[in-house]
Chains A and B, each alone.
Chain A
Amino acid sequence: MRSLKPYDKTKKAKTRRVFTYFLLITFAVVALLPLYYLIITSMKDLNEASTQATMFPKSFELVNNFKFVLNHPDYNFWRMFGNTMFIFVLKTTGTIITCSLAGYGFAMYKFPGKKVIFFTLLATMMIPGELLGVPIYEFMVNSGLKEVAFIPLWIAAWFATDVFVIFLFKQFFETLPKPLIEAARMEGASELQIFFKIALPLNKPAIVTVILLYFVGTYNDLYGPALYISDKKNWVMANSITIFENLYQSGSSSYIVPWNYVSVAALIAMIPVVLLFAFLQKKFMQSVAGTGIKG
């Protein structure tokens, strides 16, 4: 086919090719620049990082910078990471259990007005969190639960409030082979047994997607911690950067920002996500892209 093309057409294709790669590479550079500068800055010493914009570091203090950050009294990595994981595990477990129950109910059983009920639930996806946050905050403060075991950050997940996940699970359960369910029923398994022993284990791909999305979502969340976390012992990973951004803040408007320490803190914060991305890249990209989480 290609050999049949006239000469000028292949030439035109060639120019297009060059142009294509030029654009692709330009955008690749643009996408990599922030990461590159982040890594470079984490190697500089305090003086160089906070006064000069060198593209290749003159000093090499990476190890000392890491030591400084990890030894800083306000920076307790395991505590912050542990708190983040605590919220993540409770949130994800709650969502998976309650949303898969609901999804199974909608997928498997008849009920008068079922479609209307499901549509009402789906409509809540259109409601911005701004409209819901004030009364929930009011309740958490008045009931004294605001900063108890991170309750405000995971309690809603135990009430199947993530309608998108209900939808995801419902779609999946609808594809389950009916004879399989019927056979289990014949053998005398109760509906709950069928759900827990057959349906839920088969739902693994959807569950993995939810786990990945919830990890990224919880890890990245800034709004929740800004609202509900003030005590230093409750700090999460989202609090880890500002410690160093404000390190030399003296009250006056101009103060030095130790970009080398800030960069190291940012690098450390990236590690869990990088590991996930490295091992589960394909699933990761599919999950994030498939459900429209914002970067």
Chain B
Amino acid sequence: MDKIVRRNSKVKSSKLSFRQNFTRHYKFFILFTIIAIIGFFLFYFYPIIRTFMLSLTNKTLYSASSEFVGLENYMYALKTDTMFAKSLKQSLIFALVSGVFVLITSLLLALLLNSKVKLLGAFRTIYFLPFIIPSFAVGAVYKNLLNPSTGFVNKLLNLVGISDPPLWYASPSSALLTMIIISSFGFGVKMVVFLAALQEIPEEYYEVAELEGASKFKQFFKITLPIISPMVFFNVILITIDGLRSFSLAFVMGNGSGWPSNSTLLFPIYMFMTAFNMPFRLGYAAAMAWLFFLIILGFTLLQFGLSKLYVKKDLN
């Protein structure tokens, strides 16, 4: 019976029976995706559940047993732990300030480069160059440049008459700002993204606008911005989340512990210290991870909401 149906379906039918679908599609779908499905359960599903279970206990890595403590870890993080609040605050400042700076700089440079300048390729390469410094070496390179006594920047500041230049990363009052400045050097990557988008806008749009006598300013707000705004918003979300999750630079600048006096302690560093340094407080770190996840989720949803508001209005 089955054989007959199958033979017939080869000729005409568009509707296949389950059995036929299985031999032609389902079987192979399972075969090809099974590894990804297993991976999902092993490396996403299980860890998320386990992190939640841990967050309700006082487990440490080497403790044989642990107690169920309910929401105590969450309460402690939110109410008592000043380090948690501080690291979160600093991560937010870091992400927002360096994010805004990177966004403005990269967008501005992309626009300038798109205005038919000479040596476009050379400029683009130069802006991209800081990216070739491996991120684990970035900290050392800028520590050298900004060193209060042997750094070139303070020497320059001395030369122009500033006798008391900042101590940059060595002082708790300026260390976070220094990290923001260093991180802002990453504008080159985003600039390449924006430039690529700008170059895809058809030339004719501007030619028509020019004929109608629209100023460059007006052209930017009426043509350029509406076209690239969805992409810009998408990158704003990426930049913010990257900033909140930033680890490497702070790890190097703060010697892995937020030096000097916790002024470079970003949340991922604090979590790393809590979970993976003595005494390996897995339970508490897990609770912090959940709180952090909720904050990132909140940010993403907020930005999606905002982008709907702005991006839609501009598209017409």
Contacts and interface: CB of A to CB of B under 8 A. Distances in A.
A282 to B, nearest CB: 10
Contact of B289 (A23, A130, A227): A130
Interface stretch (B221-229, B243-251, B307-315): B243-251
A34 B189 CA distance: 17
A275 to B, nearest CB: 10
B69 interface: no
Contacts of A41: 144
A98 to B, nearest CB: 5
Interface string B106-126: 001100110101000001111
Given A49-B150, A131-B289, A101 B39 contact: no
Interface string A262-295: 1101100110011001000100011011101111
Residue of B137, B251, B292 with most partner-chain A CB within 10 A: B137
Interface residues of A, number: 93
A50 interface: yes
Query: What size tier do the contact residues of chain B reach?
Result: 35 or more
B245 A128 contact: yes
Contact of B137 (A16, A27, A131, A270): A270
B61 A141 contact: yes
B272 interface: yes
A270 B136 contact: no
Contact of B25 (A34, A111, A222, A265): A111
Interface stretch (A60-68, A70-78, A159-167, A204-212): A159-167
A153 interface: no
A79 B46 CA distance: 35
Contacts of B54: 134-135, 138
B33 A37 contact: no
B31 A289 contact: no
Nearest to A12: B216
A32 B193 contact: no
Interface stretch (B1-9, B75-83, B172-180, B293-301): B293-301
Q: Is the interface of B mostly helix, strand, loop or mixed?
A: helix
A130 B50 contact: no
B142 A34 contact: yes
Nearest to A40: B152
A218 B278 CA distance: 27
10 contacts: A34-B130, A53-B149, A110-B21, A120-B40, A130-B289, A134-B289, A135-B47, A138-B50, A161-B44, A295-B135
The 7 closest A-B pairs by CB, nearest first: A105-B32, A159-B39, A102-B36, A53-B155, A160-B36, A135-B50, A109-B29
Interface of A: 16, 20-21, 23-24, 27-28, 30-35, 37-38, 41, 49-53, 55, 98-99, 101-102, 104-106, 108-112, 114, 117, 120-121, 124, 126-138, 141, 156, 158-161, 166, 191-192, 195, 219-220, 222-223, 226-227, 237-238, 241, 245, 257, 259, 262-263, 265-266, 269-270, 273-274, 277, 281, 285-286, 288-290, 292-295
Interface of B: 21, 25-26, 28-33, 35-40, 42-44, 46-48, 50-51, 54, 61, 105, 108-109, 112-113, 115, 117, 123-137, 140-145, 147, 149-152, 154-155, 185-190, 192-193, 196, 216, 235, 238, 241-242, 245-248, 251-252, 256, 268, 271-272, 275-276, 282, 285-286, 289-290, 292-293, 296-297, 300
